[in-house]
Amino acid sequence: MAYRVQGQAAELRWGYYRAATLGRWTIEDQVLRATATDVDTFRVAQRPLDFVVGGRRWPLETLEVVDHRVTGRVRSGG
């Protein structure tokens, strides 16, 4: 079953450290697409990373950040 969720603010986290601050984001069929407003290039290159919004965390299986455009795959069951 296909699903789509979206929002205006989220973070990418490496443990407790913020790796990136995200503005507008969308997850559709486990694919994350977002615009990063702030990126720590060292932390965003570390693994594992989580997508965090509203106190919930979803582990990222893949992640690519190019010119503040974020694309990745979230693992279900976060």
Indicate whether 78 pLDDT > 70. Answer: no
Is this structure's pTM higher than 0.85? Answer: yes
- Give the percent of the chain with pLDDT over 90: 91
Q: According to the model, what pLDDT value does residue 3 have?
A: 85
Check whether the bond before 59 is cis (ω within 30° of 0).
Answer: no
Across the range 34-39, mean pLDDT stands at: 98
The one-letter code for the residue type at 32 is L
DSSP characters over 6-23: EES-EEEEETTEEEEEEE
